[in-house]
Chain A
Amino acid sequence: MQSARKFAKKHGWSYAFVLPSMVTFCIFVLFPVVWSLVISFQKYSLSRGGVWLDPVYQNYVDAFTTQGGVFVTAIRNTLIYSAVTVASNVLIGLILSSLIQPLGFRLQSFFRAAYYLPAVTSAVVIGMTWRYIYNGQWGLANYLLEKVGLEPLRWLSNPDIALGSITLSTVLTIPATAVVLFSAAMGSIPKEYYEAAELDGAGPIRRWWNITLPLIKSVTLYLAVLYTIASFEVFEKVFVMVPSGVANSTQTIVTQVYQNGFQQFNYGVAAAQGFVLFLMIAVVSVFQFRALRSDVEY
């Protein structure tokens, strides 16, 4: 008793401080994740609850085979979108932050703010804007095509190019986080490194290649993972740009989870597809963790 009181006196406040966060965390993250895993092996209905499937992994089979295997197409679409946008976001972020780095403080701040401004608006509004930019009759995109003498495109209604149009809209959205983080990382590299290299006769490109790039490696990796995860989860944009789906050509993993779970009410399959997404993100995260651990800091 004595020691319990002593323990409470010593640590009681600490537990009280973390309690609210831990409670909501357990209720709204930990418990649903575990239950979701259970549901992914069950046939679940709101009236009758969950019944274990036989074979128990049936939802995972169904996840890939329902509606003629749309989910496979959805994964493929998501991976294409991801590969293009991650590469372009990191590259454009790197180029832009390298270009604004030599500028004065005020100009740097101006560009960072200009790039960041659109990022504070919701993906819904951005997606809607692009939907109308891509409008076949009066959209801005076709106006520009016409100006340079090209044929107008059916950007979002042609199944062959709809996914490409959505991807392009993300590529053309300046990767604000990358610019800010790259700028911060480049700003923290000691000036002496560059001065020493300059004395040794290294030109600006070589200094950038041999000093800047290696020293921002960990930020680059962090951003790559950040954008990979965000692109795996792409939903809002697709949902507002092509509500009809254009013959499944723009299905992504999360639009599938949404459809199966909350339009078809096939909870088990939606949960299983959610875990496929989880697995993909886990692989990327583990890769990041290993790469960062082996990283040599300066």
Chain B
Amino acid sequence: MILRPNRALTWLFLALTTVIALFPMYWLFVMALTPIGTIPPSTPALFPDPFSLSNIVRLLTNAKDYLRWGANSIFVAGTVTLWHVLFDTLSGYAFAKKRFPLRSVFFWVILSTLMIPAQVTLVPLYIVTRQLGLIDNLFAVILPGTAAVFGIFLMRQYIQTLPSELEDAARIDGCNEFAVFWNVILPLCKPAIAALAIFSFVRNWNDFLWPLIILNKSINYTLTVGVAGLQGEFSTDYGIIFAGAALAALPMIAFFLAFQKYFLEGVRMGAVKG
């Protein structure tokens, strides 16, 4: 805190870093909206000149599966997120408030695997996926995603801070344990669930390596895999590539602007790297 050697210099620095932070994305969008023939303009413009949707039209007519990729990504990220919201909250609650044999063993096993890089599990997961005939199946993208444990920690941390009196009152009123969870805990967890849902969705929307490995047919691609593939398929039609990348970034940017507060709160809760 409180480092101000020189106000003008500080503002200059902050302005400069803001430009550095935002400009690449901005440039991508300008290029996506500038009509591009064979070679893009080498003098960067601040605004698309002339403004045109021709790249996007060309993208959607030539890369026929583009919208399907988006739908696949929504399906994958949405399903994984739903799983985490429900079951991470449930097990987070049990780890936070319940005392049962092997509880700490379970918890430490989960905790210790936080440092296992996902890349280590790729080979066995791929072999099993092949043998089950699930190559090119979106459920094979979804299933390993349900095993991420960061949500369990997030929810446990949060639920630990909730007072236990309300649960006890509900029990006295005759609620069974699930009813206590559903009626008392779940409503109190809304801020943490919002953060968890947002991060889980963004994470899985952006996931790349695993879908790249097991999805072979264009129609099954998720958006990241499809967009990366545009580079090979339309190697010289830069307009299509720019439009594809910009359109893929747009939903997450809109998502961020809409739920900014929860995003930054979620980072603070120590949920994810980013």
Contact = CB atoms under 8 A, between A and B. Distances in A.
B14 interface: yes
Nearest to B252: A120
A290 to B, nearest CB: 14
A194 B256 contact: no
A120 B242 CA distance: 18
B146 interface: yes
A111 B121 CA distance: 38
Contact of A128 (B106, B126, B245): B245
B192 interface: no
B91 to A, nearest CB: 4
B147 A17 contact: no
Contacts of B144: 28
A105 interface: no
Interface in A244-286: 254, 257-258, 261-262, 267, 270-271, 274-275, 277-278, 281-282, 285
Contacts of B127: 39, 44, 46, 267
Secondary structure class of chain B's binding surface, majority of residues: helix
B61 interface: no
A285 to B, nearest CB: 4
A135 B14 CA distance: 28
A124 B110 contact: no
A43 B24 CA distance: 45
B253 interface: yes
Nearest to A176: B274
Interface string A192-221: 001000000000110110011000000000
Contacts of B126: 261-262
Interface string A120-146: 111111101111110101111011000
Contacts of A161: none
B202 interface: yes
Interface residues of B, number: 95
A100 interface: yes
Contact of B14 (A100, A131, A278): A100
A120 B258 CA distance: 12
A121 B252 contact: yes
B24 A21 contact: no
B153 to A, nearest CB: 11
B166 interface: no
A122 B126 CA distance: 23
A27 B145 CA distance: 11
B124 A22 contact: no
B124 A31 contact: yes
A18 interface: yes
B44 interface: yes
Contact of B177 (A13, A226, A232): A13
A17 B1 contact: no
B17 A115 contact: yes
Interface string A148-178: 0000000000000000000000001110110
Interface in B103-125: 103, 106, 109-110, 113, 115-125
A117 B256 contact: yes
Nearest to B102: A15
B158 to A, nearest CB: 16
B177 to A, nearest CB: 4
Interface string A227-246: 10110110110011001000
A113 B18 contact: no
A20 B14 contact: no
B224 A122 contact: yes
B93 interface: yes
B253 A121 contact: yes
Interface in B1-25: 1-5, 10, 13-14, 17-18, 20-22, 24-25
B42 interface: yes
B130 A28 contact: no
B144 to A, nearest CB: 5
A124 B264 contact: no
A36 B121 contact: yes
A25 B116 CA distance: 12
Contact of A129 (B10, B128, B245): B245
B171 to A, nearest CB: 11
A98 interface: yes
List 6 A-B pairs, minimum CB-CB distance, nearest first. Answer: A13-B177, A122-B206, A28-B147, A138-B42, A32-B121, A17-B94
Interface of B: 1-5, 10, 13-14, 17-18, 20-22, 24-25, 27-28, 31, 39-44, 87-88, 90-91, 93-95, 98, 100-101, 103, 106, 109-110, 113, 115-128, 130-131, 143-144, 146-147, 149, 152, 176-178, 181, 202, 205-206, 208-209, 213, 224, 227-228, 231-232, 238, 241-242, 245, 248-249, 252-253, 255-257, 260, 263-264, 267-268, 272-274
17 contacts: A13-B178, A14-B100, A21-B152, A32-B121, A46-B130, A92-B17, A101-B1, A102-B4, A117-B22, A121-B206, A122-B208, A125-B248, A132-B242, A172-B24, A174-B21, A180-B267, A240-B228
Given A17-B181, A21-B152, A270-B123, 6 more contacts: A11-B101, A98-B1, A120-B256, A139-B42, A262-B122, A274-B119
